[in-house]
Structure 1
């Protein structure tokens, strides 16, 4: 691994030198000591030929050369046109579906190896020229023997060694950062890299992507908001995925969308609704929603429907994170900054000793200027910078389980800025969240929770009984005759458990598993001979 990582570092340096990315870096407003480092870089003393590439082309080609992790970083940057000059954003947008393909012969060989049959035996028609090519896989058009038009997705060969070496360097950088900086420790970079490692390896398994697509399709079955293509499971393998071919307009093809008179305002609003539906209703969200993975149906442009592909990366939240996030957003929309501050403290996202008043004032200072402004007038770059400064001041830790959600939010915001810059993000999202919160405390929802908890009572009671029997079977240190004199402490503990269980059940207004376990254990202790 160390040899592989060292070779990869040399490869990264060679690409940096080849495309002179250090020139672009040194044009940024860096500290003086970092700008002085350029004199220590040996290649800067060598003569060089003038480059024919623009700065955007040089950055795009460098990221392509460096492989999937760097390409995905470029895809994310391409949606942030508020952070990049237009020429660089336009070039990086090509990374979404215009990555150079690998040879067709390798693609066909891998498909036949995975399916155990030749492409002519499986497909009535197979197009060797790929439809699209991305960082991890490329796609070919085909037709099944039964007549269905499909696409065949195949994983690029030789990815794992590159990803392994890149991750080794990311882990090294994360550990060094944690040792060198308290700010870095607050950001928990090692955990973030670990989450990303799981995500990128999951994306290499196309059976997982097929399962994700099937789940997302089921979640939006019959919906006017989102369509997900059908998966043909008989022809899916770990490195090959066969699914329904869709015909839609790329979401970034503004000219075609305008020609078919697409309702752009409704399209942008439905994008926000889809995101919040996935996160809060389903707790299962498409976490790779860059423009290359999103299309718009041509059937009803006055009531536009999205089409989503490439479900290799999905995210989910625990009920606790869902609840805290929804309450935070609702309080934020209502400008109840004290509630936002208190929720951050209650959730453990900031230290418990944080002064609520000070934290409230800091949040108000950052957030108040962005209200009552359309998306086009909000500088999210400046907002994120100021939020980061506020978080550092109050020792707020990054939550690794929310990293995918934050990435998806960046993609959604960048997409919304392109589709309908006048979108009022706040008024679009607030009604959905308020409706979701009302449903969570509705009698039907509470009854459903009560039923789920009641179904667990026999299991929890058996667990308590098994635990007490195991404890009872342990060799006693004291004579058996002395046992009755010590029975009253167990009964006292049992009474306390029952009281705690009753009070917890009353305070929650619903039977929780902890309350049932407490009651069961208390009764067993009191009735135990």
Structure 2
């Protein structure tokens, strides 16, 4: 309790030092409060812009608050544009911890000293972030690997700081009327969950394995292999990847990489992860992306750091795909209808009014290159519109928004003339055709076939048992028995027809595909 109190005192001291109390009361200031604060803290200098002061304060408070700032940089509904701009500059610039601590962590986790586990282990780390740091090594067979080691004491620090954030969110919920719509408690809960997920490096390794499997045949993205015999919850060992950081465009150009193709590939990779897989890398800042210049994989992206991934269910994917396509087609009425149908906007919302508001936000950005568009400004206007129509912000989409802004920044650096809409539209249209067309129907039949093969043969018996149980409740009613028996016969005939129809359909489609392959090959 004493340590928690001291941490709270330190946080308050930093907030006062950088004048963040002034930012906090700016939305509901009462006459005289600002003057009173200026008199009380006369010694501080507040001439620096507020966004810069907030960024410096978060950096001084440590890695957990840096990550909070990174999350807030995606929340244009909560944060003004000048602060969004500064928070987007936050990165995990954390000094490495002592290599002896890293070696001790490896020994505890893997049961042996690194000199016994590896043919070579480099004591000096090559990268250091808020959660872990990375050392290069070589396996006994000579395979080049990267060993990621969890920073000691992180769980305790995260638990203490996140507990204070929960307290702050509860307080804001009580004093700010708009907080319920913005779901600040849920946002902190999401932040808490993802931070604790990052503490389990085995989860990160599993995320990497899933993403690698999803893109096993890709010519655009590479994901390092995990070596499971050298992995634990606090140490993971992965394939060492070689490439140029995507932010170093001069080196990429010198190596002959086509930046325009690279930028369009990035858009397709993003939409493939979101709409095909519902599983996407949610921390795609330039520090986590390399570009291969090896002849065998030249020009492919290399993804690193899989501690934060986003997932979407089928409902989210369907909703988002409809909205994206409607945006690309400038069908603002469909956007408004989708918001109301999903329950994100109140059911009494007038479609024409919401349609007009969305049109005013989005129409100015079409037919313009990415260099002339600010997604930050667009998102801000959309969230202002959402406030007017009481549209609820969905916490599960915060990571998606963050990733989309990462893609925007990446696209600006690689190809300022990239038209994000025109690049993404053909892919989304193809994906929608696969989902709602015959191909999608066949794939769903195939996916459900094992389940149907168990259920369908049992249906007549289960139906008979259910009807017998109902009839037993009133044995004196012979008429009821006759009706139920007849109903069972009709049901059995219907089921037989259904089984025949499904079987004929599947056999016909498979046969047609075989015929096409045969004649196509011929």
- TM (norm. structure 1) is 0.81
Q: Secondary structure at the match of 2:203?
A: helix
Secondary structure of the 2:443 match is: helix
Aligned length: 495
RMSD across aligned positions (CA): 4.1
Deviations 1:142-192 (A, max 9, x none): 122211111110111111222222222332333334444453212222233
Deviation at 1:301, TM superposition (A): 12
Instruction: Tell me what 1:335 maps to.
Output: 330
- Equivalence map 1:120-519=2 (5 Å): 120-299=115-294, 304-457=299-452, 460=455, 481=475
For residues 189 and 238 of structure 2, the distance between their equivalents in structure 1, rounded to whole angstroms, comes to 30
1:111 and 2:106 aligned: yes
CA contact (8 A) 2:106 2:235 kept: yes
For 2:185 and 2:389, the matched residues in 1 are separated by 21
Per the TM alignment, residue 431 of structure 1 is displaced from its structure 2 partner at its CA by 0.6
Conserved? CA contact 1:261–1:302, under 8 Å: no
> What is the aligned partner in structure 2 of residue 45 from structure 1?
41
Say which SS state the counterpart of residue 119 (structure 2) adopts.
strand
**How far off is 1:453 after superposition?**
3.3
Residue aligned with 1:33, SS: coil
Q: How far apart in 2 are the matches of 1:221 and 1:300?
A: 18
**1:9 corresponds to 2:8:** yes
2 CA distance for matches of 1:195 and 1:27?
24
SS in 2 for 1:152: strand
**Could you tell which deviates more after superposition, 307-316 or 189-198?**
189-198
Query: Contact (CA 8 Å) 1:262, 1:302: kept in 2 or not?
Result: no
Contact 2:224 2:240 in 1 (8 A): yes
Change in Cα spacing, 1:465 to 1:440, as seen in structure 2 (3 Å) is: same
TM-score normalized with structure 2 length: 0.82
SS of the residue aligned with 1:190? helix
2:59 and 2:305 map into 1 onto residues whose CA distance is: 19
User: What CA distance in whole angstroms lies between the structure 2 residues aligned with 1:148 and 1:245?
Assistant: 8
Residue equivalent to 1:515? none
Residues 161-170 or 273-282, more deviating: 161-170
Q: Are 1:79 and 1:415, in contact at CA under 8 Å, matched by a contact in 2?
A: no
Question: Could you say if the C-alpha distance between residues 207 and 342 of structure 1 is closer, same or farther in structure 2, counting changes exceeding 3 Å?
Answer: same
CA positional deviation for 1:360:
0.9
Cα separation, 2, equivalents of 1:190 and 1:496: 54
Q: Distance in 2 between matches of 1:261 and 1:83?
A: 37
Q: Residues 104, 395 of structure 1: CA spacing in aligned structure 2 closer, same or farther, 3 A cutoff? A: same
Gap runs ≥5 in structure 1: 506-510, 512-529
Change (3 A) 1:455 1:428: same
In structure 2, list runs of 5 or more residues that go unmatched: 500-504, 506-522
Task: Say which is worse superposed, 227-236 or 215-224, in terms of deviation.
Answer: 215-224
